[in-house]
Amino acid sequence: MTEAQPQSAAPNGATPPKVNMRILAQYMRDLSFENVAAQKKLQGGNVQPDIQVQVSLDANKRETEGQYDVATKFKITSRNKADNETLFIVELDYVGLFLIEGVPQEQLHPFLLIECPRMIFPFARRIISDVTRDGGFPPLNLDTVDFLALYKQELQRQAALQAQNAAPAPVAN
């Protein structure tokens, strides 16, 4: 069980609510590994891999009070720098089922998309490492993902998209 205590005091000197987060389950919703190099019979002579990692997050409330599904989706493409040929593609959709109590409603969204993925990331990283090794490549050990930066980046992207949609259309003469 993971417990965290908010650092700021509640108004009027009241004790802030105790935050409780538990991982109830975690599982692979989808896993795909494509060894393109083997399919194309590429020779392993001059291989200089260039790894591209895309991460996306999603969270959904379940019917049971306080329970949420948090999905961390990875798409990893490895290309050979020498000839730009794809070596392999990994896609993993890894989900954690969380029980969350005591988090104020206005802080729930960032909590779900920052803290929850942080808790399940080591398990997803292990799966990716194992599947690349079992697929005939050196194990891919992903660097730690900064979920806070990822969350802020997504907020900025959404704000820019809203500003673009809210801008008045130019008038043609």
pLDDT at residue 5 tops 50: no
pLDDT digits 0-9 by tens, 147-159: 999 999 989 988 8
Report domain extents, the chain. 18-165
- According to CATH, the superfamily of the domain at 18-165 is SecB-like (3.10.420.10)
Enter the pTM of the model. Answer: 0.80
Q: Give the DSSP per-residue string, 88-113.
A: EEEEEEEEEEEEEES--HHHHHHIII
Closest C-alpha among 156, 149, 130 to residue 141: 130
Query: What was the pLDDT predicted at 19?
Result: 85
pLDDT digits 0-9 by tens, 88-121: 999 999 999 999 999 999 999 999 999 999 999 9
